[in-house]
């Protein structure tokens, strides 16, 4: 197996749970730089995944880092689950459940019909627990201080939104969407539409453009490959 990391490689990595995307890049940079005997290999990822998400990271090295913007702009596919009847400030399990509501009345038809409201180009408000900057300051800094911030909406596109299983309070889904879509926000907005509240309880990115998780390396396996080059 041959890699030319300095000339440029596109690596597909399955990000482990609890790792940040930056953690993965740093680990690979250290290993690869040591292997090719350079002080600091050029490396970056094409689209952040939250620590509580798993799945496909496109990692570019060397001259292929120039293609990062192209990869970031491509359609993304995610699978995961929402938990209805409860909400959190971060819209996922990073923060504790804040509110509870009854969900027992929900029907399969009602749940699947609600997905239609989100298909197409829509305005979405990012979570306050995010790295998006407002007035030069990352939102999560304001969130952790309890500061109120006016968060601007952004236009995103949901190409496909399917409910794949319902076992209340858990609803499993598959979503295909544009760059910049926050699945955490989709969970929160979907819960509001159902009038029960919801938060994102699991998330996996399965595709970026034509690149699939099926062809990705487990991080530990790839680090071992680098060691053995």
In the chain, which segments carry CATH 3.30.2350.10?
Answer: 10-73+210-227, 76-208
CATH topology of domain 76-208: Pseudouridine synthase (3.30.2350)
Q: What is the pLDDT of residues 72-110, one digit of tens each?
A: 999 999 999 999 999 998 899 988 999 999 999 999 999
Cβ 134 vs Cβ 154: under 8 Å? no
Residue 227 appears among annotated catalytic residues: no
Mean pLDDT, the chain, rounded, equals: 91
Least confident of 1-10, 105-114, 123-132, 194-203: 123-132
Phi, psi of 133 (to 5 degrees): -95, 135
> CA triplet 54, 122, 209: central angle to 5 degrees?
40
In this predicted structure, the answer to whether residue 145 has a pLDDT above a threshold of 60 is no
Q: What is the pLDDT of residues 49-76, one digit of tens each?
A: 999 999 999 999 999 999 999 999 999 9
Given CATH 3.40.1170.20, say whether it is the number of domain 10-73+210-227: no
Distances (CA, A) of 51 to 19, 30, 34, 98: 5, 20, 26, 21
Phi, psi of 171 (to 5 degrees): -125, 120
Residue of 50, 92, 189, 210 with catalytic role: 50
Q: What pLDDT does 135 receive? A: 56
**Residue 36 binned pLDDT confidence (cut-offs 50, 70, 90):** confident
What span, in angstroms and rounded, lies between the C-alpha atoms of 223 and 229?
A: 10
Q: What is the pLDDT of residues 118-132, one digit of tens each?
A: 999 999 988 876 555
Phi, psi of 102 (to 5 degrees): -70, 140
Provide the percentage of residues in the chain whose pLDDT is more than 70.
Answer: 90
In this predicted structure, the answer to whether residue 29 has a pLDDT above a threshold of 80 is yes
């Amino acid at each position: 197996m041959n890699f030319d990391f300095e000339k440029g490689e596109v690596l597909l990595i399955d990000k482990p749970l609890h790792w940040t995307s930056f953690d993965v890049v740093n680990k690979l940079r250290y290993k690869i730089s040591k292997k090719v005997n350079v002080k600091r290999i050029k490396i970056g990822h094409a689209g952040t995944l939250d620590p509580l998400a798993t799945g496909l990271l496109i990692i570019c090295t060397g001259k292929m880092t120039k293609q990062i913007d192209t990869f970031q702009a491509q359609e993304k596919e995610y699978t995961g689950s929402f938990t209805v009847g409860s909400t959190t400030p971060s819209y996922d399990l990073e923060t504790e459940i804040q509110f509870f509501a009854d969900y027992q009345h929900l029907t399969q038809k009602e749940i699947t019909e609600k997905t239609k409201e989100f298909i197409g180009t829509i305005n979405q408000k990012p979570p306050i627990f995010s790295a998006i900057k407002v007035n030069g300051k990352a939102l999560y800094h304001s969130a952790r201080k309890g500061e109120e911030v006016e968060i601007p909406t952004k236009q995103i596109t949901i190409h496909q939104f399917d409910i794949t299983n319902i076992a209340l309070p858990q609803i499993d889904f598959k979503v295909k969407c544009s760059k910049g879509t926050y699945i955490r926000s989709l969970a929160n907005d979907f819960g509001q539409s159902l009038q029960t509240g919801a938060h994102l309880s699991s998330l996996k990115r399965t595709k970026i453009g034509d690149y699939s998780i099926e062809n990705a390396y487990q991080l530990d396996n790839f680090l071992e490959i680098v060691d053995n080059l």
